[in-house]
Amino acid sequence: MKAFAALLERLTFSPGRTAKIALLRQYFAHQPDPDRGYGLAAITGTLALRTARPALLRELAAERSDATLFAWSYDYVGDLAETVALLWPDSAGGGMPGLAAVVEALQQTAKPALPALLAGLLDAGDASERLALLKLITGGLRVGVSARLAKVALAALAEGRASVDAIDEVWHAQRPPYGALFAWIEGRAPPPEASGAAHFRPPMLAHPLSAAEHGAITPALYRAEWKWDGIRVQIAAASAPARLFSRGAEDISAAFPDVLAAVDFNAVLDGELLIRHGERIASFADLQQRLNRKAPGAKLLAQYPAMVRLYDILFEAGEDLRPLPFDARRARLEAWFARIAPARMDLSPLVPFADFAALAALHAAARAEAIEGLMLKRRDSAYLAGRVRGAWWKWKRDPLRIDAVLMYAQRGHGRRGSFYSDYTFGLWREGVLVPVGKAYAGYTDAELLLLDRWIRAHTTARFGPVREVAPALVLEIAFDGAQRSSRHKSGVALRFPRIARLRMDKPAEEADHLEVLLRLLA
């Protein structure tokens, strides 16, 4: 555990990409199996552990430290795991066991025995080991390393035996602690089998289309499709049972048994998950009713029937179609769809356009049609993982904007743990502010410092990590859409809200009223 704790500490304080890659490569090269495999899983977010609730950590800390000192320290540090790790009394425990032993103990321990196990491990370790353990079991492992960066470090360790793209191709068919993956990377075994398996494949993504690129979009080079307002998914149906994956490789099969019940084919398909009532595509709010459900009941399935609108075909009967040009894949998809006629699916139509002016008119009409925008794909583009500039573009509809008043602020996590970085904002209704959304993005580091100081100086009440502030600061909020919501006091929920500007110049009394938002919704 000591080596893993040291790695996390060094990654946290090494801002440069090259330095992080070097640290990861060194860790993978010098740590034994299965420790390094569990370390890789923890860093890339594929490690399944029973998480500990904050209340449990507070209870354990209360038994070993002074309650007042803990409260003051937590208020100053702003991070529960770090506070517990630092205040937990040192003992001559000799250090925690290795990472693999810790992970396996956590996986095998029943819930009633978890407090005793955690206390014993915390007693055995030093402050850095305690912090690493607590970050693991709270799901707060944020060290500035993406899964892609970890794969770059693995490719560096492979020294030419495996590229990043080759690792990406087999990654989702492997499971922690990744013994077969490391054996291949170190030249001790052939590549893990991936072809034909019903597992997730790295998706091709699009770059946002800016005004500078408008001139490159011509009918001779590109195809246009609508950008539907659902979630991007991949249906993997081959030798194994069919699975449904989100764009981020999360297996969401259990939440959509109605979609998979109709799957009786051998193919890997790319599309958009939507809710459809008859011929009408429902709003994203309806789709949210189905997301994150592990066992949706018959009533929910009937009320929010799901379907997939297909964009692309990646594999057919084991044949890899991704190297083909988009036009050729589209022809294969149309022929496959006509032959198979799968239930709960349809084809996303291509949108013809004569010139860019016609395309711009379609883009301008997207919001009125409840469509998120346009996708523009080069007709000769192969299906390549990640974002390939010039191949695919996304031209989203312009965001809506409101001027709202800051109402509450909450501490962030990770490097933002000491700052109030999550903001709840509201609009006026009959002289009273009602909350309409929450944002934690869109501002610069300098603006974060300014907001944090302002919040501390204008706090009117505290509720644990949340502060209520005086209704005096106006935020310009950009958002992609809004829908009615019975869960919100205002009756409205925003889609992807973010802070566009701090309106320090604008009096709070001049912020927007709820009626403005309701008109935008209409």
To the question of domain 2-138 being in CATH 2.102.10.10, the answer is no
Token pair belonging to 119: 């206390």
Which residue from 205, 259, 204 is spatially nearest to 235, judged by alpha carbons?
259
H or E, element range at 245: strand 243-246
Strand ranges (E), 72-218:
204-205, 207-208
Cβ atoms 310, 267 nearer than 8 A:
no
The pLDDT value recorded for residue 436 is: 92
Superfamily of domain covering 204-396 = DNA ligase/mRNA capping enzyme (3.30.470.30)
Active site residue 489: no
Which residue from 17, 42, 14, 16 is spatially nearest to 28, judged by alpha carbons?
42
Residue by residue, pLDDT tens for the chain (522 residues) are: 999 999 999 998 888 999 999 999 999 999 999 999 999 999 998 998 878 888 999 999 988 888 889 888 887 777 889 999 999 998 877 889 999 999 999 999 999 999 999 999 999 999 999 999 999 998 878 788 889 999 999 999 999 999 999 999 899 889 999 999 999 999 999 998 755 556 899 999 999 999 889 988 999 999 999 999 899 999 999 766 899 999 988 999 999 999 999 898 999 999 999 999 988 898 888 898 899 888 899 999 999 999 999 999 999 998 999 999 999 999 999 999 999 999 999 999 999 999 999 999 999 988 777 788 999 999 999 999 989 989 999 999 888 999 999 999 998 866 676 789 999 999 999 999 999 999 999 999 899 999 999 999 999 998 878 999 999 999 999 998 887 777 777 888 888 899 999 998 899 999 999 999 988 775
Nearest 10 degrees: CA dihedral of 382, 384, 387, 391?
A: 0
Spatial separation of the C-alpha atoms in residues 11 and 24, rounded to whole Å: 8
Spatial separation of the C-alpha atoms in residues 483 and 65, rounded to whole Å: 47
With 0-12 / 13-18 / 19 or more C-beta atoms within 10 angstroms meaning exposed / middle / buried, residue 156 is middle
Residue ranges covered by each domain of the chain: 2-138, 204-396, 400-521
Q: What residues pair up with 461 in beta bridges, in sequence order?
A: 468
Which residue from 134, 148, 133, 124 is spatially nearest to 58, judged by alpha carbons?
134
Token pair belonging to 35: 């420790």
User: Which is catalytic among the residues 20, 151, 227, 377?
Assistant: 227
Strand ranges (E), 381-488:
386-387, 392-396, 400-411, 420-429, 432-439, 459-463, 466-469, 474-479, 481-484
List of residues 6+ apart from 402 with CB closer than 8 A: 427, 436, 476, 477, 479, 512, 516, 517, 520
φ, ψ dihedrals at 437, nearest 5° = 175, 175
Spatial separation of the C-alpha atoms in residues 74 and 129, rounded to whole Å: 19
**Angle between helical axes of 17-30 and 147-158 (0-180°, round to 10):** 60
Which residue from 300, 303, 290 is spatially nearest to 253, judged by alpha carbons?
290
The pLDDT value recorded for residue 195 is: 55
> Any idea which fold 400-521 has?
OB fold (Dihydrolipoamide Acetyltransferase, E2P) (2.40.50)
β-strand pairing of 420-429 with 432-439: antiparallel
Token pair belonging to 236: 């993997």
Spatial separation of the C-alpha atoms in residues 146 and 139, rounded to whole Å: 15
Spatial separation of the C-alpha atoms in residues 153 and 164, rounded to whole Å: 9
CB count within 10 Å of CB 248 equals 11
